[in-house]
Amino acid sequence: MYVYILQSIKIFFRSLPCHSQETNKRGKMGDDGAEQHDEFLRAIGNNVDVHTTRMRDDILHMLSHYMKQQRRHIRNALRNEATLRENELIEKRHKAEAALESARRTIERQNECIRHVATVLWGANSRCWLQRLFSDWKMWLLKRRQHRRGIALMGCFTNITCAFHAYTQWRLLAAARRHHRLALAEQLQWKRNEAELKGQVQALGKIAEEERRSKEDVEDKLRTAFIRGVCALNKEAVQVLKGSRQSDEAQLSPPKPSGTPPPSATAPTQLESHWAPKVSDHPSGSCDKYPPRSTFSQDTVRECPSITAGTSHIQYHMCYAPSSCAYSAKILPHQPFVVSVDPSAVRSYGEVPSTKRTLYPTQRRSSSAGRRFSR
């Protein structure tokens, strides 16, 4: 159809240049060719109309034939496609029916299982509920039994407590009576013991008084003997000092022009003047005479080169070491020690002051017993 249309168009355009040349010639000719030109135009129009009509008919014929073919082809295609679609739908339907059947069977089995599980759970729930009720009933019975037992025990305990209280009161009363009897007996015994101890104390006081008197006599005798010994020692010291002074005066050289006596002569003089009043104070007249222990030779009496005489005629050491100086008078032998005793100041060690005397154990025991009875 397209080929036919193209051929008719080619034929139309091929006839156009011939007509155009004719029209040009006629135009050159003048007004006479106007009518011919109109006729030519009419002929061309008729030809075009004829050709156009034919072409249209041919086109319509071709288009109708093509449309019929296309319609036939589309109808076949649609029929085939509908058949395929129908087959597919049928297959899907069969599959869906099979799946639906399997699902229905599965649901039926599940429903059967659910019914079975529900039945089992209902039975288990019933059993649990019945067990709970049974355990509650047992607990109620146990509590009731315990309550009854507690009431019985409380009654027994109350009876026992009352009996024990009465028994305790009776025991306390009996103990108080027994304690009172024992206290009275003990008080009587203590009074007897106190009387006996007082008699012993009086006897012991008499014995102590006799012992004190005998002790005082012994102390007086000892004091007298001690004073006599002291007086003898003082006399011995005086005799030793006098003998040493006489021997020193006989052996010493004449005094120096300065008029100061030697240190060996001044030391015994000072000792004699110091101890003389104490010897004269003692009342004892006769004492045993003891010979002098030692005498001083001429070699032991020497003068210190550093001794000088002051304005007051008192000797002193310039070396300021009289204890370690070889010329000091302290190197002489030790003189006897003189002790003076005042008989009135001597204390009797056997006598105990009355303020410091303690009570006898019997008296303390009786006083503590009296305080315990008072309680």
Q: What is the pLDDT of residues 165-181, one digit of tens each?
A: 999 999 999 999 999 99
Q: Could you tell me if 55 and 12 are in contact, meaning their C-beta atoms sit under 8 angstroms apart?
A: no
Mean pLDDT along residues 324-331 = 52
Whether 139 has a pLDDT exceeding 90, the answer reads yes
Quick one: pLDDT at residue 140?
A: 93
Whether 208 has a pLDDT exceeding 60, the answer reads yes
DSSP reduced 3-state for 287: coil
Quick one: pLDDT at residue 10?
A: 56
| 105 — pLDDT class (breaks 50, 70, 90) | very high
Q: Could you tell me if 236 and 293 are in contact, meaning their C-beta atoms sit under 8 angstroms apart?
A: no
Q: Could you tell me if 302 and 327 are in contact, meaning their C-beta atoms sit under 8 angstroms apart?
A: yes
Q: Could you tell me if 5 and 58 are in contact, meaning their C-beta atoms sit under 8 angstroms apart?
A: yes
**Exposed, middle or buried by CB within 10 Å (0-12, 13-18, 19+), for 327?**
middle
Question: CA-CA distance, 254 to 309, in Å (whole number)?
Answer: 16
**Average pLDDT over the chain, rounded to whole?**
70
Report how far Cα 206 is from the mean position of its chain's Cα atoms.
Answer: 71
* 304: nearest Cα among 315, 295, 296: 315
Query: What pTM did the predictor assign?
Result: 0.23
Cα–Cα distances (Å) from 34 to 20, 30, 146, 342, 358, in that order, read 14, 8, 150, 212, 197
Whether 372 has a pLDDT exceeding 80, the answer reads no
Quick one: pLDDT at residue 267?
A: 40
Reported in sequence order, the residue ranges of 215-349 that DSSP labels E, i.e. its strands, are: 307-309, 315-317
Q: How far apart are the first and last CA of the chain?
A: 160
Reported in sequence order, the residue ranges of the chain that DSSP labels E, i.e. its strands, are: 307-309, 315-317
Which residue bears the tokens 């024992």?
182
Which phi-psi region, left, alpha or beta, contains residue 12 (left: φ > 0; alpha: ψ -120 to 50)? alpha
Whether 113 has a pLDDT exceeding 50, the answer reads yes
User: Which pLDDT tens digit goes with each residue over 262-304?
Assistant: 444 344 343 344 444 343 344 344 334 444 443 333 343 444 4
Rounded to 10 degrees, the C-alpha dihedral 227/230/235/239 comes to: 170
Mean pLDDT along residues 320-344 = 55
3-state helix, strand, coil in the chain (%, to 5): 75, 0, 20
CA diameter of the chain:
233
Q: Could you tell me if 318 and 308 are in contact, meaning their C-beta atoms sit under 8 angstroms apart?
A: yes
